[in-house]
Amino acid sequence: MHHEDALQRLKYIEGHIRGIQRMLEDDKYCIDVIRQIQAVQAALNKVSNKILEGHLNACVTTAIRGDDLAERERVVNEITSIFSTANEL
């Protein structure tokens, strides 16, 4: 995913979050608010997954094909750490 595309998606999500804030200010039905929050979470996950895909196809692939063993270990540890953190949430 190009950064421009990610930024556009994040701006859309930002607007969506503002809409959720207005819903709360207007005392909208809780389930409707939760559905909107879930939509934002799904959109953020999609952006995250696309950025990760780009990282794997560029940075990680380059490191794994390279001769620097320490760099290979570093990128593998980074990816492992990202998934560990995501599972803790």
Give CA–CA dist 70/10, Å, rounded.
34
Q: What is the pLDDT of residue 71?
A: 92
Cα separation values, 8 from 12, 18, 34, 56, 77, Å: 6, 16, 23, 21, 30
- Average pLDDT over the chain, rounded to an integer: 93
For 21-30, 36-45, 63-72, which range has the lowest pLDDT when averaged over its residues? 63-72
Q: Is the confidence at residue 14, as pLDDT, over 70?
A: yes
Which domains, and CATH codes, for the chain?
Answer: 3-88 (1.20.58.1000)
How far is Cα 3 from Cα 54, in angstroms, rounded to an integer? 10
Mean pLDDT to the nearest integer, 5-23: 97
